[in-house]
Amino acid sequence: MFTGLIADLGEVVACERDEQGAELEIQTSLAAELSTGDSIAVNGVCLTATAVGRGEFRAQAMGETLRRSSLSDLAPGSRVNLELPLRIGDRLGGHIVQGHVDGVAGVQSVQQEGFSRVITVELPAELARHAVLKGSIALDGVSLTISGLEGSRLSVSLIPETLERTTLGTLQPGDRVNVELDVLAKHVERLLASTLTDG
């Protein structure tokens, strides 16, 4: 379980692909806190460290993960948002993020508004129903608040700190971001659907 508060910007130094999936090697200072078998969120996708070195770790992404997320876009030199799992007793500064990406959204526009930057993305139609104005969402693993919502388009407003500490500061129209919607909204929908079916 994660909180959507990015701990480091890592860099992909190697990416090996085959028909089964991909193996990534990522350089980060967080490697010092990792052991083989530990979980780590990479652009919001929960992966398992398969090998850990002095300043890097390796992780595998299976085919399903590549199809469902934007990890398939990564190449050597790509920057990635990294977060270690929440420890019991840690502050929950963002929101509950599982690292289970629901899908990918396309960036539609990037606009400066005073000191903040507004990013608008287009959600896949099947995900839009879980988005709520002023609700939580994770984009590339970053915990954000939905500041605008119209149909399947939603906007988030980013402060300079977020722009500097995450990959969201480099987003441009046409880029793709991983989306994880609030797990509570998904559970509520499932419960309501069961109640209507049973009733």
Three-class HEC string of the chain: CECCCCCEEEEEEEEEEECCEEEEEEECHHHHHCCCCCEEEECCEEEEEEEECCCEEEEEEEHHHHHHCHHHHCCCCCEEEEECCCCCCCCCCCCCECCCCCEEEEEEEEEEECCEEEEEEECCHHHHCCCCCCCEEEECCEEEEEEEEECCEEEEEECHHHHHHCHHHHCCCCCEEEEEECHHHHHHHHHHHHHHHHC
Topology (CATH) of 103-191: Elongation Factor Tu (Ef-tu); domain 3 (2.40.30)
Locate CATH 2.40.30.20 in the chain: 8-83, 103-191
For 29, list phi and psi in degrees, rounded to 5. -70, -20
Q: How do the pLDDT tens digits run along the chain, 199 residues long?
A: 899 999 999 999 999 998 899 999 999 999 999 999 999 999 999 999 999 999 999 999 999 999 999 999 999 999 999 999 988 888 778 888 999 999 999 999 999 999 999 999 999 988 988 898 999 999 999 999 999 999 999 999 999 999 999 999 999 999 999 999 987 666 566 666 667 666 5
Residue type, 31: A
pLDDT given at position 62:
95
Report the phi/psi class of residue 44: left, alpha or beta, with left for phi > 0 and alpha for psi in -120 to 50.
left
The closest alpha carbon to 186, from 121, 105, 122, 103, belongs to 103
CA distances from 183 to 56, 141, 167 (A): 31, 14, 23
Query: How many residues are recorded in the chain?
Result: 199
pLDDT given at position 92:
77
As a whole number of angstroms, the distance between CA 156 and CA 96 comes to 18
Topology (CATH) of 8-83: Elongation Factor Tu (Ef-tu); domain 3 (2.40.30)
Q: Is the pTM of this model over 0.75?
A: yes
